[in-house]
Structure 1
Amino acid sequence: MEKTVCELFAGVGGFRCGLNNIKESVVYSPENNAKEKWKTVWYNQWEPAEKSTQYAHDCYKYHFGVCLDKNGNDTTNVDIEKVDKSTIPDFSLLVGGFPCQDYSVASSLATSKGLEGKKGVLWWSIRKMIEVKQPPFVLLENVDRLLKSPASQRGRDFGIMLACFRDEGYTVEWRVINAAEYGYQQRRRRTFIFAYKNTTKYAQHISKTVGCSSEDNDSKSSAAKLLGAEGFFAKTFAIKPIQESKIKIISLSENLGDISDSFQFNFENCGVMKDGIIYTIKTTPQYFGKQITLGDVMETGNVDESYFIPEEQLYYTDPEINRSDESQGKLPIQQRKTWQYLKGAKKLLRKSANGHEYIYSEGPIAMIDEEDKPARTMLTSEGSFSRSTHIVRDRKTGRIRLLTAEEAERIQGFPTEHTKYCDVDGKVVEMPLRKRRFMMGNALVVNLISDMEKTLSSIIDAE
């Protein structure tokens, strides 16, 4: 089977970099694209919040060019909900990192199945792509809370997704993976989903490993082999031995509407769904290799002065103090605009909607990020005056500063300077710093996809 890819919600190309093990920033050329092991036949990136710019798409285009649909049109920067999925070239692997939203359904006569998702919820575009194109394999990424959303009906959203895959004839494996627990440079937990058509040779191989026997002990034993040793994630990311007696089993209703209305289930961080039967268990990573740290990806040479934080913005009192008490009154605004205050523990006087006064407390976090550990999770607010922003001690001067754009890229496993340039209507422009940070806060850890590629490649080769 040919290694062809369709990348949805492509961002700046994290899946593409990972699948093709791209280590250095490239500029689009037919020659560079021809070197890629996985041929991307089409991608889509459209940011609805951007009215005049599309930096993510234009960065992707700068590195990889565009892909035309079957009609010869470039729809790579068109709202995916408006794209005619039948015009997309065929592919063997669908990939994408999509937003975590409300996946509930509503009755409608607009679809043959009598149900459709809420408008603007992008899972339904993925389902439509799967329904129309029937790709043999699917690899998706989402936040870890996907398994427990919404808070009012735990597990409903993921149950709906699994039912959609079941209805289209897929088996699904999932695993929540923290990149740092497999040696990489960021503590970032994400849910990865691997689905495969039941007609593939891979599915036939897996069927010999996991079954849906009516005997609980038999089915748990088979699921344990799949989740612990034989499955896609098990072969890619080792885990400690699991106890099959702790595997939980539940069946999905045949009716998607019933799942939307009443399904609740505590999904664990690892599992498989086959023929509507779910097997899930909490697993623990097992890794004995090298640990990449924040210090390993930091600059060792000169850093532009703009990244350094002025002394008056760092501390307002003794640097050893990491807490403030405002239960009797607020500190002066100048003190509250320091990183020491922002990252320190606090006691704040607040008032509820009914006028009741209470004390709100929050604990301290480390002001200077530790270089001998993996970086904390990077968010889209990276670089702003926020508790989540990384502050580091410059390796050359010892002064305190923010992360550079290149360090943010390396924390996510991208090539250095991957987000520096964009192709905007044929003109090369630099992406603004705040956007570069935003792109990285919104991305996945590319290293994990490179690890998965090895397993994917062997699967595709055997088809």
Structure 2
Amino acid sequence: MTKHIIKVAEMFAGVGGFHLGLKRASSDYKVVWANQYEPERKKQFAYEIYRNRFPDTYISNVDISKVEKSKIPDINLVVGGFPCQDYSVMSTAAKGLYGKKGVLWWDIKDVIEEKWPQFLFLENVDRLLKSPGVAKEQPGRDFGMILKTLSELGYSVQWKMINAADYGFPQRRRRTFIFAAREDTHFSEHLRTAIMLNKNQLIRYIATMAPLSSSLPVKELGEIQTIDLSKYGTLAEFSKRFKVKYGFRQTGIMSAGKVFMADYAAKSTESVKLRSIVKSNLSDQSQFLSDEQKARFSILKAGFRAVKTSRTGFEYKYGMGGIDYPDSLDKPARTMVTSEHTISRTTHVIIDPGNGRERLLTPEEAEQINTFPEGWTKLAGVTDSERFFTMGNALVVNLVRDIAIEIDKIAEGEDDFTRYRGNRRVQNIEH
């Protein structure tokens, strides 16, 4: 039997978390094209790190909207953690698919439409499932728009919001993972069959199916909710009319526009604790906190409650809960964000296990929290703050690895994996 090679395009590549995860999963993956560009930054440090770590991979460093999609090589798989600022809970002005970052989804659509790969493997923040927010009139509209776009392009979809710490990884990082398969694949055929199952069989199917649940098991699946996206006409009509109470559930499948989804409880495994990562008796004294810094962290991490008044005169309660200070070494790390290492409420503060002094994480510890090799982002000309920024944007590499192992098995089951393109069912979708 001929060995199959999965040719990959990596979009929004960062410092190569997807690439590294695929490489750890199987030698069947070959990244043939990548793109990394940080808008409004003169210094492209993530791109430089990627290029240094993967010198044999072609990587583009131009705005993805200016990339001529037809020039991308033929591919079997598109991967990418598309920018999340317009969905993230960290942004109080998130605008979803219509924000400056959210609009980049349409560049993914353009690549899919032009190259029509067999599979997609994408990642975004957990809040994507509710975007543009439960306080808005259309929670879940943005994720619904993504699903409808994929359906019209001829793809079936499985998604799952995964907390990496539930499955033995050293960070409580919640992210939405999306796996999609072209309509002529066996995976799509299986989903078309699955939606005809009775309720109990469908629950079992969603809870155990590859690639997002077979190696990341579900202990319990909640009540299944259904949505028919095919009842909406154009994407513009969908955008105006779509409503689903509370947005999308934590996991689900879609075939031919029919959505089946539910919340779930993970069949958890023991997580890696911070204690196993952090170094003792750190020699770099600049990482230790002064009394003034301790006082500032103490205030920032205590949480607060306030009453605000809207522009229309409506009063509402506003606040944030407290954060452990210092962070427990007997838990996985909290979600790392791009402002790690600054004086902010989200920055980790730990007790050095060797000398009992309060300090910040090192860039190497941040890398290991995301399961990158120690020193992955260390490069001449790249500052520590830039290294932390890349880790705040990164994903948990070994979580990608575990999912990619299952995707590789799915690809192996295809009859003709060397055929790149078929007859596209839908072309030039307008948005």
Q: Would the aligned equivalents of 2:280 and 2:355 in 1 still touch at CA under 8 Å?
A: no
1:250 to 222, 227, 234: 227
**Alpha-carbon deviation of 1:347?**
6.4
2:44 to 54, 62, 84: 54
Unaligned segments of structure 2, at least 5 residues: 87-94, 415-431
Alignment correspondent of 2:285: 305
**Alpha-carbon deviation of 1:256?**
1.4
Whole-angstrom distance in 2 between the partners of 1:341 and 1:250: 45
SS of 1:135's partner is coil
Q: Deviations over 1:312-369 (max 9, x none)?
A: 4324xxxxxxxxxxxxxxxxxxxxxx22222224467978768999997654322100
SS of 1:369's partner is coil
**Alpha-carbon deviation of 1:13?**
0.4
Q: Residues 149 and 363 of structure 1: is their aligned pair in 2 closer, same or farther, counting only changes over 3 Å?
A: closer
Alignment correspondent of 2:330: 372
SS of 1:454's partner is helix
Query: Is 2:81 the counterpart of 1:97?
Result: yes
Structure-2-length-normalised TM-score: 0.85
Whole-angstrom distance in 2 between the partners of 1:120 and 1:348: 30
**Alpha-carbon deviation of 1:430?**
3.4
Alignment correspondent of 2:126: 144
SS of 1:273's partner is strand
Q: Would the aligned equivalents of 1:206 and 1:226 in 2 still touch at CA under 8 Å?
A: no
Whole-angstrom distance in 2 between the partners of 1:353 and 1:103: 22
Q: Residues 351 and 229 of structure 1: is their aligned pair in 2 closer, same or farther, counting only changes over 3 Å?
A: closer
SS of 2:266's partner is coil
Alignment correspondent of 1:263: 242
Whole-angstrom distance in 2 between the partners of 1:232 and 1:312: 49
Q: Would the aligned equivalents of 1:67 and 1:76 in 2 still touch at CA under 8 Å?
A: no
SS of 2:60's partner is coil
Alignment correspondent of 2:22: 19
SS of 2:24's partner is coil
1:195 to 176, 180, 196: 180
**Alpha-carbon deviation of 1:298?**
0.7
SS of 1:236's partner is coil
Query: Is 2:111 the counterpart of 1:160?
Result: no
Whole-angstrom distance in 2 between the partners of 1:219 and 1:250: 16
Amino acid at match of 2:44: Q
Q: Residues 61 and 276 of structure 1: is their aligned pair in 2 closer, same or farther, counting only changes over 3 Å?
A: same
Amino acid at match of 1:294: L
Amino acid at match of 2:61: N
Alignment correspondent of 1:414: 372
Q: Would the aligned equivalents of 2:83 and 2:124 in 1 still touch at CA under 8 Å?
A: yes
Query: Is 2:392 the counterpart of 1:441?
Result: yes
Alignment correspondent of 2:425: none
Q: Residues 373 and 103 of structure 1: is their aligned pair in 2 closer, same or farther, counting only changes over 3 Å?
A: closer
SS of 1:158's partner is helix
Q: Deviations over 1:155-200 (max 9, x none)?
A: 1111111111111111000000000111111111100000001101
Alignment correspondent of 1:77: 61
Q: What is the identity percentage for the equivalent residue pairs of Structure 1 and Structure 2?
A: 42
Whole-angstrom distance in 1 between the partners of 2:307 and 2:142: 37
Alignment correspondent of 1:238: 217
Q: Flag the structure with larger Rg.
A: 1
1:431 to 382, 394, 403: 382
Amino acid at match of 2:17: G
Whole-angstrom distance in 2 between the partners of 1:44 and 1:296: 34
Q: Residues 430 and 21 of structure 1: is their aligned pair in 2 closer, same or farther, counting only changes over 3 Å?
A: farther
CA RMSD of aligned residues (A): 2.6
Amino acid at match of 1:200: T
